[in-house]
Structures are given as C-alpha cells and as structure tokens.
C-alpha cells in the first residue's frame, strides 16, 4: 500500500482527521484547499486503501465519492457499517458534476449525509462540522456505553407497535443527526409535516420533549447496530 497522503501543510496541532476517498484529482485539490485550515486531511483514490487507512488512522469522518475507480462509495459504506470498529464513524457521500446521484440509496445504507453536486464549500464545511461535533458529543458523553439503551429495553418499548413505518424512519433519521429541514428535503415533505411527526413520536414514546427524543433516537440507533 502506498504511504497515506497527508497534507504537508497541515497544522500539527489539528487533531480532527478527515479521510477523503475519490479518484478525481481536481476534486481532491479543491477539498484539500477547503479543509486543511481546519482539519488534517488524509486521502486516497481507491476503496481498498481507504478501508486500510480508516483502520490505521481512525479518522473523525470519512468523505467518500459515490463513484471510485475500484468500487463505489456505497460498497465502502456497506463495509464500514458492517465493521464493529469503524461503523460509528461519520460518513458523508458526495457526487461529482455530471455523475448520477442516488441520495436515497446512500441514506438508506447508513450515510450521515449525501451532498449532490453542485454543492458549495460552505455546505460541505457545515456538514462535516455538524457530523463530527455530534460524533464527539456522543463518544465523549460520560458513561455513554452504560447509559445506552439496550436491545432488551428497546424491545420492551415495542417501537414497531407504537410507531408507523414513516415515524420509525424519521426516528432513524433523527438518530443520524438530520434536522427537520434535512428530513423534509429527503422525504419531499414540508418541515411542518416533519415537526408534526416528531411531536407524535415524542407523545407515543412518552418522552419529555425534543431533547429527550434526540437522546432516545441516538440510543435506539446504537442498540440496533
């Protein structure tokens, strides 16, 4: 395997690492210029090396092209989510201009976000920041592993008996850090409709409010992995 491509101009004090996987050299240059002031960037142009680098460096986030030379970003995502060590890692898929985008497929496979070209640098930075912040918040919560909802607790709550299929899907999207606006865009419904679903989910699960719903959603998703 080639030595990992780590940007030489990165500040050594930067601790948050982003692994970029894309075969597009131009896209690599643009993303490196955008990210390296804030993040340490590792990059590769193929999936096999990407998996090896993920195991070696344990990045804070993986940013992956939906189309890579030796496979697809979807295959990388499936491999990641089936790996007991790497599966919690935030994963953002992106499409390049003039290439097909399948946002629904990516999100259904467990991507934390999907950026369809054309997207702005600001949109990319916001997505990365929010996913890493959420990941660190969950990881650094004291006693998180002990407080996390277990499968037995989930089954006693009987989620499937209380929620409709749409509500269960929205619950999983909340767990991935998606806002009401994100969910509305993905499902092609209004933000008001999403907020109504959130209210109904909170009521059906007998939760105390919006914060309790988010905490429950994260624990529920973690227990189901």
pLDDT digits (tens, 9 = 90+) for 66-100: 877 656 788 888 888 888 888 889 999 998 766 66
Alpha carbon distance 76, 23 (integer Å)? 14
DSSP category for residue 91: E
Match 């395997």 to its residue by tokens.
1
Domain 144-224 matching CATH 2.70.98.90: the answer reads no
- Give the confidence band of 221 by pLDDT, cuts at 50, 70, 90: low
Q: What tokens appear for 212 in the block?
A: 């309790």
DSSP category for residue 18: E
Strand ranges, E, within 22-86: 40-44, 61-65, 67-68, 71-72
pLDDT digits (tens, 9 = 90+) for 131-183: 898 887 766 655 444 334 433 344 334 566 678 888 888 888 887 778 888 88
Please provide the size of the chain in residues. 225
Torsion over CA of 199, 203, 207 and 210, rounded to 10 degrees?
A: 10
Output the pLDDT for position 12: 41
The domain limits of the chain are 5-140, 144-224
Asked if residue 118 has a cis previous peptide bond (ω within 30° of 0), the answer is yes
pTM above 0.75, yes or no: no
Residue 151 has a CB neighbour count (10 Å cut-off) of: 11
Alpha carbon distance 47, 70 (integer Å)? 7
Highest CATH level, class, for 5-140: alpha beta
């Amino acid at each position: 395997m080639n030595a990992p491509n780590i940007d030489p101009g990165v500040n050594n004090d930067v601790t948050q690492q982003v692994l970029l996987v894309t075969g597009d050299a131009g896209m690599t240059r643009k993303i490196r210029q955008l990210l390296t002031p804030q993040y340490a960037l590792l990059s590769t142009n193929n999936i096999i090396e990407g998996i090896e680098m993920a195991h070696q460096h344990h990045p804070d986030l993986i940013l992956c092209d939906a189309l890579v030379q030796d496979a697809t970003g979807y295959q990388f995502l499936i491999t990641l989510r089936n790996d007991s060590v790497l599966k919690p890692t935030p994963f953002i898929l992106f499409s390049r201009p003039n290439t097909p985008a399948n946002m629904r497929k990516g999100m259904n496979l467990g991507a934390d976000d999907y950026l369809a070209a054309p997207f702005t640098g600001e949109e990319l930075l916001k997505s990365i920041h929010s996913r890493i912040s959420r990941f660190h918040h969950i990881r650094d919560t004291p006693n998180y592993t002990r407080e996390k909802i277990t499968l037995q607790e989930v089954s006693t709550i009987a989620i499937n008996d209380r929620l409709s299929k749409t509500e269960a899907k929205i619950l999983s999207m909340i767990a991935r850090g998606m806002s009401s606006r994100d969910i509305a865009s993905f499902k092609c419904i209004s933000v008001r409709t999403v907020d109504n679903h959130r209210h109904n989910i909170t009521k059906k699960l007998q939760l105390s409010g919006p914060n309790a719903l988010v905490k429950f959603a994260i624990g529920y998703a973690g227990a189901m992995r």
